[in-house]
Structure formats: structure tokens, C-alpha cells
Chain A
Amino acid sequence: MRINPKLLAVVGLLPALLFMLPSFIGQQSSKQPIRNIQIKAISGLQYDQVRFKVAPGEIVHITLINTDEMAHNMVITVPNKREEVVALALKMGEEGQNKNFVPQSDFVLASSPVLLPGSTYSFNFTAPKEEGIYPYVCTYPGHGAVMYGAIYVTNEMMPPLANDSHVPPQRRGEQTKQKEAEHPYPATFPRMYRSFLPDTGPASIAVGMTNQLSYCWDAGACRFRYLWKDGFIDLSRHWGGKGKELADIVGTIFYREENMPFRVGPHKEMPESEYIGYVLEDHYPTFKYRLNGVEVEERIRPTLDKAGMYRQISFKDPNDIVWYQMPRGQQVEVDFDQGKLEGQYLKLSPSEASSFTLTIAESKQKI
């Protein structure tokens, strides 16, 4: 005979439930439903929530979700014992792994197991009757010094986040965060970064020519990508994590080059490209690359009167016609000092290609 174990449990509990019924009903009004608290372990050794409030004696249902790529746990301690518990966990040595890095200690009130990346664990936590600030911390070796938060067991308000010494310093709110210097040298222009940038290849370079005018050049594809105004880039997200986040463009992109614009030879075939590098001239990079074996130098400078750039291009001994595909569908004006237009291409003789300048500047009209 097969017995449904669930059914058995319910039947077995029935007398107890019936017995409890009157008192349960009686308490219903005073007892609040269990609150759900969701806490995520996130990238950069931190919990997404660094503090929350519960009433003394309240039962909360805590769900820990590990969205990070490292293993984490959550250990709730008695007030002011966070660091001691972290130290005790470290001393567990190889025992630690088997015991989820939760030390045997009266300081520990509750704990989750070690959660591998992508896993979740829930548990009920009954807040102590005694008011106080109860820390929670990841005791996985090395994490405890920075990965923690605080449960405020109180009926009062929590203090302002900005001065809260119970949460990690970098999480005390934006108002305390001053814009710090990013480098040990002054942030002057022109300057540049190789980084992960949007809408380009992974080997790209951001150049801020002035604080108002910047461009992206792709060292993988050896070509200009886009030009923007009203700012440079913000690298704080990129630097703050493991390098996954892209640098943020500050300002507005107003010109993009969709393809490699240059052709070498009469048939206008897409050239083979090879990146050589750049040299700095007054802190502006001069890019060097080869197209079908012909060495090319590209110098880019800001235009002075409106948002735009001069691109001074040199093909070294091309021995053949060079073509530049004129941009289309963009709100820019394009000017050139050499060659002549042939359909959508600017045609340059070998000597003209040895040094010519394209001026690309913002315009109200689309070309």
C-alpha cells in the first residue's frame, strides 16, 4: 500500500491544529504577517541591501540570493560582534568549508549556508526582543571585512545613512561621496583611455580632445567610430567592478562612421587593415595603421568654431588611387582640401592622398 506522506503529516497534525485554533484566531489581529526581506549578494563583495529595520520580536522571512560569481553566506550576529565572528570564521581553516564558515559561537544568531553563484536560500529570523543593531556579514574567507550590513531591531527611525557606521563606507549614500581625483595627475585635455566603450569593437580608444568634444577610434578595425559633444566619458562603473560594465559616454553622439571609409586601388575593395599603434603629439594621439600594406597616419583635432573635427590623413606612398566614402544620412557638413568627388566617393590621387584634411562638423541638415 502507498501512503502519501504529505497526507499523513496533515492527518497527524489535525488534532494539534484543532487544539490551537481558538488561540490562533485570538492572536490573529495582533500578529502581523511575516514580512519578506530579500537580500542579494552582488558583484564587488557587497549585499544590495545594507540595512533594514524590524520590530523587536518580529519574525521576518529572509531570502538571500547570490547573483555574484563568488560563493557567499550571511551570518547574523549579536551587536558589535561582526568583526569577532569574521575572525572566528577565518580560524576555522579547512573545517570552515564543511561548516559553511559559520563558527560555533554564542555571537551567531542565525546563518545561511554558503551559497554558490546563482543559488538562493530562505530562512525565518526572529528578531531579538532587545533593541539594537544586529550586524549581518559574509564570513566566507576574505569577504567579511567589506561585505556586511545591519538589522535595526527597533521601533524607532534608522539614523541617516550618510553617517551610519554600521554599513560599509562606500554604501553610506551619494551625499557623502565626493568626486575624487581619478588619477595622480591633473585631468587636463586632451586625454585618452583604451576601454570598453558602447557601439564599437572591444579594442577601442576614447579620446577627449576638449572637455566638450570627444571621439571613439577602434584599434581593432583601424577606423574612426563616432564623435560626440558636451563631455567625455565616465569610467566609474567600468573601474568599480571587474571590468564588465562599459564606460559611459557623457554628452551626445552626433556623427558615426558606419564602415571603413577608405579604399586603395581602382576597384574600391574593402582593404585589409593592420593596427600599428599611436604616438602622442601634444597629448593628441596620431594613429598609425596599414591598409592593404600602405601605411596611414591619422591626426584628429577639434574644430574651433563649431562641434566638429579636422582629420588630417596621410597615406605613405600609396602608388594607387585612394578613395574616401563620403558619409551619408548624418547631420554633419563634410569638407575636404584635396581630391574630387566621384559619386559617393572622394577620389584622391597618390600625391593628394599623401596628405589631405577632412573637416566634419555638426550641421542642422542631414546629408
Chain B
Amino acid sequence: MKLIQFYLFVCISLLLACKEKKNERLSDFYVIEDISLPEGLLPEVGAMDFMPDGRLAVAFHRGEVMLYNPETKRWQLFAYGLHDPLGLHVLNNSEILVMQRPELTRLRDTNQDGEADEYLNETDDFGLSGNYHEFAYGPVPDGKGNFIIGLNTASNNAGVWEERRGEYKPEGNPGEGMYSPVPYRGWLMRLTQDKELKPYASGFRSPDGIGFGKDGQLFVTDNQGDWLGTSTLYHVEEGKHYGHIASLVWKEDWKQNLNEVPVATYDSMRTRAAVLFPHNIMADSPTQPLYIADSLNFGPFGGQLLVGEMDFPRIMRVMLEEVDGQMQGACVSFIDSTGLTVGNHRMAFGPDGSLWVGKTAYAWVGDQGIQRIRFQGGTPMDVLKMQAMPHGFRLEFTRPLSLEAASKVENYQFQRYKYAYHKDYGSPQLDKQKVAIKKLEVSEDRKQVILELEEMLPAYVYDLSIQNVSSEKGVRLKNNRLFYTLNRLPR
């Protein structure tokens, strides 16, 4: 405790001493370094998690699980020969669950020689058609003793093998787009404590990112493509359907031909995304959502989610709120360039509160390696919160604003648009229009701006560009583009 007080004292005095610099950069707050890697390793990261003893466990593209000691900077082999490991959960210092393509495997070092000698099948109770796109993700613990795993759909760029695992339903392939030939492709599954794998929620295309939020809510990202006009973050609840149709053939009592159901019916069945990530602007391929615990020393964004992104040198930040029983909110850049590379696939917070980011490409857009992001203290100039109001939005900033710029209506540009829900690949921005600001109000503490808009329409993305707004000492707002997915209008 004494130590923390001392640390706080040092921080505060440093802050006071430094004053606010005008040319302050984001990299003054978040320092990015590259982690050294052993020779001979193809460092495409499929999965990462920390061990209780502080070592980082990483699964790589060629099937290795390696352990990295941040103190000694040494790498050590723990397991090998796995097939496309894309998920990993540490159970203890000698036991790891790893999700590889064909199975969830329990790796265990029983003789304490540092290397796993048991590779036991925790569950393989799901189908494999041999289609290369049937990736498997997770396991993410739900805090109640269960694990969530995600099963990717099959790609229409390839067929299925003669020999498969699991029941085969040719009707799971509607002829266009991603398909679900074997159970439970396009589903999230729950592995119960007694190792039963049960369908949990349907309607996913490529659920690469799975994570739990502050209050135990489950969040999953999905990738732009057929039935996804743009990439999404879903708030997932048991039994619900999230829009990609192929998975429905494995729904109990499903009897219809996938091609004979009207789009309007599909539309009524789905739960909308909590956040849409506008394609080509914000994200082309979002990955893991990772919640920033309040207890972490990682800046002012405790309780919010970070989301990785493959195609841009970017990690996003998501600010959520529940309106009328529906989760919704805004996304904004958290780190954009400033030394971060692309291919941001897996993230984990280390015991010291630093963020570790594993890269991959997998012959798509991406990169290799691991970067570590360390918070240096202080308060970066940023939007802390964006909340919907009945007639507009409320913005809260991390620092007091310069009143003059903050009060100018022309410094805030809103446009809104939506994305089609259809079987075609992606969607342009539809019904795009500028939205005029009727009224602007800056709070007394100059940390909040309330923007009243001409119109607020549910089911649209409200895309806000903030120009020229700075802190009272003149520090510019860098992450100045925010996208709020307005599912419901607050009353």
C-alpha cells in the first residue's frame, strides 16, 4: 500500500512538473516495443495467455506453444505439432487448454520437465468437413466454470472432403457465401463443467474474437462478408441468432431451405450488432475484444473494451451502454500507427498491466511478431465516453477543453449511414447523409459537450469527426473520429 501511495505521489509530482506540452503525442503515454523472438520461429500468433507465474504462453502458426519469461527474456518450448491453434487458456503453470482446428486439447506437463507430455482431448464433439476455413476459436472462460468456443463456417472457395467428421448436411451450403456442412459451423458453443459441448448461439461467419466484458457479458467480433455489410461486435446471449444464415441448418427443428426464407424473416430473427465497425474506415477485420479491468494501470479507459484489427495498424476502443435492453455504443481508435504494426490478432494484459499484442497474417493482410504496449502514466487527450441521448450525443473528454474551439458547432461534423443486411459480400454505406447540429453545450467543467442533432434515427451509424478541438492547454484531440451504432433511441 505504501508503495502505491509513493508511486501515486511520484506520478502526480511528475505530472505537475512536466505541465502540459502542446506537442504531446500518444506515444508519450503508450510506449510500444517489439519482443525478441527465437530464431527459426515463424512468429504468427494464434493465441496468447499469461501463466500465474508471469510467463506468457503463445501458440504459433506452425503448431508450437512456447513460453516467454518477460524477466529473463527467454523462450522455451512447451508443446508442438498442433494444427492451427487459434485459442489458448492457461489453467495453471503446467496446464494449458489449446483450441486447435480438430479439437480442444488439454496440454499437461506431468513430469515437470517444462514440456507438455499429455495432449488430451477435452472436446472434439463438433464437425470437420476438411474445408480449410473451418477454424476454431476460444476457449474463453465464462467465470462460472464453463468455456465458450467459436466454430468458423466453411469457405465457398473450397469444398468438403470425402471423409469428414460429424453429420453431413449438404443443405448447409446455400450455394453462395460461407456455409455450414457439419455441426455446429457458424455457432458459439459452451463447454460445460462435465465436458458436454452444447450449442450456445448461432449466426456467426468468422467469430475469431471472443471475450467477456466488465459485467460478464460475452462479446464476439465477426468479419465483413456475406450477411455482414460491415464488421461487427456482438453482445452474445444464449439462444440468440446473430445474422449469418448458414448455421441455422443445425438449429433444432429447422426444416426450411436456406434459400427459400425471405430476407425480411432472417432480419427479424437476428440480434443486431452492439457496434458496427465501418469497413475501410475503422476496421476491415476486427479480432479479439479485451476488457480493460478497472484495477489495471492502463490509462483512463477502465471498463471499456479494446478490439484488435488485422488490416490497419490499429487497436480500437469500444465504449458501450445498454439502451432499452439493447447493447450499443461507439468505437474509436485507441492506438493508430505510432509504431503499432498491422495484423493485431491476439491481446493479453500482463501481470504488470502492460498490453501484449500478437500478430498474424495467415496469407491475408497482416504481420508477424509480438508487441508490448506500456502505459507511462498521465492522461492522454481523448474522448472518454460517447453516450446517446434522446436528441443527440453527449461526449465526455479525459481533460478539460479549450472553450473557444469546443463551443464551435463547425468543429463537429456528423454523418449517418447504414449497411445492408443481405447475402451479398459486404455493403456500401447506404442512405448516407450529413446531420446538422441544432445546439451545442459545453459543461461547466469543460469536460463534456452535448450535441443536439436535427435527427436521431435508430439502425444508423452516427459518424462523428471532431476537428480543431483541443485541451485547455492546446493539446489536439488525435483520435477524433467516432462511430456510434444507434440501435435504440434513449427515452
A69 at interface by CB-CB < 8 Å: yes
B contact residues around A44 at 8 Å (CB): 363
Determine which of B117, B280, B365 lies in contact with A97 in the assembled complex, contact meaning CB atoms within 8 Å: B280
A172 to B62, alpha carbons, bound, how many Å?
24
- When C-beta atoms are compared, the residue in chain A nearest to B127 turns out to be A202
B contact residues around A200 at 8 Å (CB): 163
Q: A142-B311, A194-B82, A275-B124 are in contact. Are A93 and B280 (CB under 8 A)?
A: yes
- When C-beta atoms are compared, the residue in chain B nearest to A280 turns out to be B117
Residues 322-354 of B, flagged 1 when their CB comes within 8 A of A and 0 if not, give 000000000000000000001000000000000
Q: Is the CB of B42 within 8 A of A239?
A: yes
Q: Is the CB of A184 within 8 A of B40?
A: yes
B contact residues around A279 at 8 Å (CB): 117-119
A243 to B136, alpha carbons, bound, how many Å?
13
A205 to B63, alpha carbons, bound, how many Å?
12
B66 at interface by CB-CB < 8 Å: yes
Most A Cβ at <10 Å: residue of B81, B101, B165? B81
Q: Which of A260-284 contact B (CB under 8 A)?
A: 275-281
A185 to B115, alpha carbons, bound, how many Å?
13
Q: Is the CB of B362 within 8 A of A242?
A: yes
Q: How far is the CB of B350 from chain A (nearest CB, A)?
A: 21
Q: Is the CB of A242 within 8 A of B81?
A: no
Q: Is the CB of B163 within 8 A of A184?
A: no
A269 to B41, alpha carbons, bound, how many Å?
47
B425 at interface by CB-CB < 8 Å: yes
- When C-beta atoms are compared, the residue in chain B nearest to A183 turns out to be B40
Q: A193-B83, A219-B102, A243-B84 are in contact. Are A185 and B62 (CB under 8 A)?
A: no
A293 at interface by CB-CB < 8 Å: no
A contact residues around B132 at 8 Å (CB): 196, 242-244
Q: Which of B374-417 contact A (CB under 8 A)?
A: none
Q: Is the CB of A220 within 8 A of B102?
A: yes
Q: Is the CB of B124 within 8 A of A202?
A: no
Q: How far is the CB of A59 from chain B (nearest CB, A)?
A: 34
B114 at interface by CB-CB < 8 Å: no
Q: A184-B66, A242-B364, A277-B120 are in contact. Are A220 and B281 (CB under 8 A)?
A: no
B155 at interface by CB-CB < 8 Å: yes
Determine which of A142, A185, A278 lies in contact with B119 in the assembled complex, contact meaning CB atoms within 8 Å: A278
A182 to B64, alpha carbons, bound, how many Å?
11
Q: Give the A-B pair count, Cβ closer than 8 A.
A: 143
Determine which of B37, B133, B161, B363 lies in contact with A45 in the assembled complex, contact meaning CB atoms within 8 Å: B363
Determine which of B62, B163, B365, B425 lies in contact with A182 in the assembled complex, contact meaning CB atoms within 8 Å: B62
Q: Which of A127-156 contact B (CB under 8 A)?
A: 141-143
B contact residues around A180 at 8 Å (CB): 40
Most B Cβ at <10 Å: residue of A45, A69, A143? A69
Determine which of B42, B77, B103 lies in contact with A219 in the assembled complex, contact meaning CB atoms within 8 Å: B103
B contact residues around A45 at 8 Å (CB): 363-365
Q: Is the CB of A184 within 8 A of B63?
A: no
Q: A185-B77, A202-B130 are in contact. Are A195 and B164 (CB under 8 A)?
A: no
Q: Is the CB of B62 within 8 A of A183?
A: yes
A301 at interface by CB-CB < 8 Å: no
A335 to B62, alpha carbons, bound, how many Å?
37
A251 at interface by CB-CB < 8 Å: no
Total residues of chain A contacting the partner, CB 8 A: 48
B contact residues around A275 at 8 Å (CB): 103, 121, 124
B contact residues around A339 at 8 Å (CB): none
Determine which of A93, A94, A191 lies in contact with B81 in the assembled complex, contact meaning CB atoms within 8 Å: A191
B70 at interface by CB-CB < 8 Å: no
Q: How far is the CB of A86 from chain B (nearest CB, A)?
A: 13
A193 to B278, alpha carbons, bound, how many Å?
39
A219 to B101, alpha carbons, bound, how many Å?
12
Determine which of B80, B105, B130 lies in contact with A277 in the assembled complex, contact meaning CB atoms within 8 Å: B105
Query: DSSP class of A's interface residues: helix, strand, loop or mixed?
Result: loop
Q: Is the CB of A242 within 8 A of B40?
A: no
A43 at interface by CB-CB < 8 Å: yes
B93 at interface by CB-CB < 8 Å: no
A200 to B63, alpha carbons, bound, how many Å?
20
A contact residues around B267 at 8 Å (CB): none
B contact residues around A367 at 8 Å (CB): none
B291 at interface by CB-CB < 8 Å: no
B contact residues around A142 at 8 Å (CB): 284, 310-312, 342, 365
A contact residues around B363 at 8 Å (CB): 43-45, 240-242
A117 at interface by CB-CB < 8 Å: yes
Determine which of A97, A181, A243 lies in contact with B40 in the assembled complex, contact meaning CB atoms within 8 Å: A181
A162 at interface by CB-CB < 8 Å: no
A142 to B312, alpha carbons, bound, how many Å?
7
A201 to B165, alpha carbons, bound, how many Å?
7
Q: How far is the CB of B65 from chain A (nearest CB, A)?
A: 12
Q: A44-B363, A191-B81 are in contact. Are A182 and B280 (CB under 8 A)?
A: no
Q: Which of B126-181 contact A (CB under 8 A)?
A: 128-130, 132-133, 155, 157-158, 161, 163-165
A70 at interface by CB-CB < 8 Å: yes
A10 at interface by CB-CB < 8 Å: no
B contact residues around A235 at 8 Å (CB): 62
A96 at interface by CB-CB < 8 Å: yes
Q: Is the CB of B41 within 8 A of A194?
A: no
B contact residues around A14 at 8 Å (CB): none
A140 to B88, alpha carbons, bound, how many Å?
32
Q: Which of B35-76 contact A (CB under 8 A)?
A: 37-42, 61-64, 66, 75
A contact residues around B101 at 8 Å (CB): 194, 243
Q: Is the CB of B62 within 8 A of A239?
A: yes
Q: Is the CB of B280 within 8 A of A94?
A: yes
A116 at interface by CB-CB < 8 Å: yes
Q: Is the CB of B40 within 8 A of A185?
A: yes
A208 to B124, alpha carbons, bound, how many Å?
24
20 contacts between A and B (CB under 8 A): A45-B365, A142-B310, A181-B40, A182-B40, A191-B81, A192-B81, A193-B81, A196-B83, A196-B132, A201-B130, A202-B163, A219-B102, A220-B165, A239-B61, A242-B132, A243-B84, A243-B362, A275-B103, A279-B118, A285-B119
Q: Told that A94-B281, A196-B83 touch, could you supply 13 new A-B pairs with CB distance under 8 A? A: A141-B284, A185-B77, A185-B80, A191-B81, A193-B81, A194-B81, A195-B83, A201-B161, A202-B165, A203-B124, A275-B121, A278-B119, A280-B117
